Amino acid sequence: MNVSRRGLTPSLPVILSIARVSFFEILREKILYITLMMTALLMFLGFAASRLFFIRPDRVILDFGLSAVNISMSILAILIAGYQIGREVDRRTIHIALVRPISRGQFLLGKFAGIKCILILNWLLLSAGYVVILGLSSHEGFTEHLHATLFWALGLLLFQSVVLAAVGIFLSTFTTAALSWMICTGFYLIGNNISQIRLLAIKTKNVFVAGSLNGLTWIFPNLEHFSLGTQVTYGLPIVTEAAVTAIVYSAVYSALVLLLAVLSVQKRELN
């Protein structure tokens, strides 16, 4: 596929090439290793805390470990996505890339693809370690907690991190890294409390406040789609339609945010 110098036509080889460079660049920055070490520490603390419980200590590890994976994936997505475009502009390396027949849209999508690869690698390592620790801590057999709901829960956390990465890279097109991290953290906190915001909107008597709160629930990502809560703890079967809806929601929301990011980076002055 021919790619014009200023066009926005997606070119898979170009995007994959930028993704590969971004992937190894992020690896060299040691952010992935820091989050892995942090998660390992959290899981160790969860394992230590489980020793204090005589009744079902494995459930402590089950919940604590899943929370550790959630936090690690979210922090990694927010950190690495929040500075990608801004840093390239500050270092003026984006100018070197755009001298070639690469559009700004392709450059941004390549960066996002590289971030996704890092997230997938982090998710695989964390999930494998978590499953091993969970299996070894069980007194009733290695496969006691290794049910479909647990693997769905782990998988949905990956899709949640992709949404946060899309938001982060969008913010990085027009804000500083620090501001992007703060705003994206706000997206994470609000996104995990959408139902509470809607409940507050129902209870409030002020029409303007209620409308504003309901508006926020449409703007911010509903990250509650990616949390299975007590379904994992008690091994309750997951409704397949709900899981598929969460995956589709992740894809649609990420695509819309990336579209905004492409439009934003197209309008940005790169002097």
Task: Spell 171-196 as b/e; 16+ CB within 10 A means b.
Answer: bbbebebeebbebbbebbebbbbbee
Tokens of 193: 């409390």
How far apart, in whole angstroms, are the C-alpha atoms of residue 221 and residue 166? 11
HEC letters along 113-148: HHHHHHHHHHHHHHHHHHHHHHHHHCCCCCCCCCCH
Q: ∠234-37-221 over CA atoms, to 5°? A: 55
Q: ∠202-205-208 over CA atoms, to 5°? A: 90
Q: Is residue 197 within 8 Å of residue 217, measured between CB atoms?
A: yes
Residue 58 pLDDT: 64
66 half-sphere exposure, CB direction, 13 A CA radius: 24
In the block, which residue shows the tokens 């596929």?
Answer: 1
Q: Around Cβ 15, how many Cβ atoms within 10 Å? A: 21
Residue 186 pLDDT: 94
Residue 97 pLDDT: 61
Among 18, 24, 23, 20, residue whose Cα is nearest residue 3: 18
Residue 3 pLDDT: 39
Task: Spell 104-119 as b/e; 16+ CB within 10 A means b.
Answer: bbbbbbbbbbbbbbbb
The helix/strand/coil state of 94 is helix
The pLDDT tens digits of the residues spanning 26-61 come to: 888 878 778 878 777 777 776 666 666 555 666 777
Ranges under pLDDT 70 in the chain: 1-10, 46-58, 90-100, 137-145, 234, 269-271
